[in-house]
Structure 1
Amino acid sequence: MNAILDAVSLALVLAGALLCLSAAVGLLRFRDVPTRLHAATKPQVLGFLLICVAIALSLRSWPVVAFLVAVVLIQLATAPLAAHMIGRQAYRNGTIDEPSLYVDELAQSRETPPAAGG
């Protein structure tokens, strides 16, 4: 049974490492902000999650699992928030290709600045 769990954890580490590598390549190769944000959040978080599951399977300890649950929850909470803030700032700076947007939900916020009160 230990050999099977070790093999599964090895496979999970390799899959997680490949996902994190693909996220890094996507950050370097993609040309615009939304696609880079997609590459930075989706495969990286999934790869991190797979690596954490592999660590939990490999060490087989409840304190380690409890610690990894907290780490994964923090990662799942901060990655989308950071991507949202970077995307919003890129929109405000004008570095997003606006004709490629299907829906522009922030168009009204451009007309009236948020601190203007009107």
Structure 2
Amino acid sequence: MDVDALLDAAAMVLVLIGALLCLIAAIGLLRLRDVPTRLHAATKPQVLGLMLICTAIALSLRSWEVVAFLVPVVLIQLATAPLSAHMVGRQAYRNGTIDERALVADELRESRETPPAAGG
């Protein structure tokens, strides 16, 4: 078995694992019952799945130009997925759609109970 065949086999395995992680994320969004668990399912396996698929693409095409294109894609995904999950979770908390009894620590309670300062 030569190096090209080994790299192609590794790329196929990475694509399969990445696709399964993205599928698990999609199923988690549909099946999980509350916002925090849905956010967990939407961010963690999806980002890891994308990283594995991008790694497989880089291994398969074996080009530095492709790697230079995929690195910003992964970095942008790593930057935006936690930020969007944070914003959705905070809005769900403000709307009252999160079961507050299930929270271990409620660090936002004070900010919700304290009215904003008037006049700046």
Instruction: Indicate the TM-score class for this superposition, using the shorter chain for normalisation.
Output: over 0.9
Matched, 1:100 2:105: no
The number of residues matched between the two structures is: 116
Separation in structure 1 between the aligned mates of residue 48 and residue 117 of structure 2, nearest angstrom: 41
Q: Pick one of 2, 8, 11 that aligns with 1:9.
A: 11
Separation in structure 2 between the aligned mates of residue 17 and residue 9 of structure 1, nearest angstrom: 12
TM-score, scaled relative to structure 2: 0.95
The alpha carbon displacement at 1:112 in A equals 1.9
Separation in structure 1 between the aligned mates of residue 113 and residue 35 of structure 2, nearest angstrom: 22
Which residues of structure 1 form unaligned runs of 5+?
A: none
In the alignment, what sits opposite 2:68? 66
AA partner of residue 43 (structure 1): P
The percent identity for this pair of structures is: 77
In the alignment, what sits opposite 2:82? 80
Q: Pick one of 33, 36, 43 that aligns with 1:34.
A: 36
RMSD: 0.8
Separation in structure 2 between the aligned mates of residue 33 and residue 85 of structure 1, nearest angstrom: 12
Separation in structure 2 between the aligned mates of residue 54 and residue 95 of structure 1, nearest angstrom: 39
Where has structure 1 moved over 2 Å in runs of 4 or more?
A: none
Partner deviation per Cα, 1:38-82 (whole Å, 9 max, x = no partner): 000000000000000000000000011011001000000000000
Which residues of structure 2 form unaligned runs of 5+?
A: none
